[in-house]
Amino acid sequence: MNATVTPAERAARTGRVRRAATRAAARYASIGHLIFAAAFWVVFGLVAVVVPLLFDRAGEQMDGGVLYATGYSARWVAFSLAIGTTYNLAAVHLAAGGTRRSLFRGVVVGSGVAGVAYGLLYGVALLGERALFTGLGWSWEAPVGYATGSTGVLGTAVLGALGEGIAVAGYALTGAAVAASFLGVRVLRTVVAAVFVGLLTLATVETVTRTGTGGHSLGVWVVEHWLPDGAAGVVVGVLAGLAVLTLATGWLWLRLRHLQLRPPT
């Protein structure tokens, strides 16, 4: 007896396979980011506690905390991991029958997970550092970011987490796009061009989120000369950050569309 598969059944089966492929790619990309985010903040959290205690024991006082340094380090962990996971996952995913679209969706989910994880942990760290400084009788100033002088303690932590999360997600998306550029063409000039576009994207996301090197230099100038004061400036900054993430996501898709399992001959 011959079983006839209708077009609707075939479409449903194809949809299930593609969703499973997307979940597998997202799980692979996300787990790595979660593990490295936890490991990073265990180490950096200890540093953020030990350094002020050493200063206090020596009878000295810190003018600011050490969390500002996360803008120069945490995002590079996510960037490097995104390059590694995308490079390792791409060939296996496509060879196993996954599509470039399911790979793209999985990598985007992983980048989003990285942004949420690093952002939340950064917000908690801000609250912890402020509590530590208060306990030591020191004044505390939040690192440069979306927060303003009128946002309060909780608002500062929330806005700090939001800015850090957007920046880390942008770094992860850019790292994945750089890896996809290499896998797609493997020509030196194309890789160099991809690195240039990537650096431009990273500088832009730092500027609009007011974090990292770009945020502490060009971002401060943009805030002073271009953005409105108060909540309106924060809203504009957040929307600009989301716009950069959208552009980075589009660039990632363009690079993954040209992904090849073997180098061109």
Using pLDDT thresholds of 50, 70 and 90, give the confidence band for residue 150: low
For 73-96, what is the mean pLDDT?
Answer: 91
Query: CB atoms < 10 A from the CB of 178, how many?
Result: 25
For 61-75, what is the mean pLDDT?
Answer: 81
At residue 118, what is the residue type?
Y
DSSP line for the chain: -PPPPPHHHHHHHHHHHHHHHHHHHHHHHHHHHHHHHHHHHHHHHHHHHHHHHHHHHTT---SS-SGGGGGGTHHHHHHHHHHHHHHHHHHHHHHTT--HHHHHHHHHHHHHHHHHHHHHHHHHHHHHHHHHHHHTT----PPSSS--TTSHHHHHHHHHHHHHHHHHHHHHHHHHHHHHHHHHT--HHHHHHHHHHHHHHHHHHHHHHT-HHHIIIIIHHHHHHTSPSHHHHHHHHHHHHHHHHHHHHHHHHHHHTT--SS---
Using pLDDT thresholds of 50, 70 and 90, give the confidence band for residue 1: very low
Q: Domain segments of the chain: what residues?
A: 18-256
Closest CA to 71 of 243, 207, 201: 207
Contact indicator for 82, 25 with CB cutoff of 8 Å: no
Report pTM: 0.89
Quickly tell me which residue has 């803008």 as its tokens.
Answer: 71
For 50-72, what is the mean pLDDT?
Answer: 85
Indicate whether 186 pLDDT > 70. no
- pLDDT, tens only, 101-138: 999 999 999 999 999 999 999 999 999 999 999 999 99
Instruction: Return mean pLDDT, the chain.
Output: 85
- pLDDT, tens only, 191-248: 788 888 888 999 888 888 888 777 777 767 776 766 776 778 788 889 999 999 999 9
Indicate whether 85 pLDDT > 80. yes
Query: CB atoms < 10 A from the CB of 166, how many?
Result: 25
Query: CB atoms < 10 A from the CB of 233, how many?
Result: 17
Using pLDDT thresholds of 50, 70 and 90, give the confidence band for residue 168: very high
pLDDT at residue 260, as a whole number: 72
Indicate whether 14 pLDDT > 60. yes
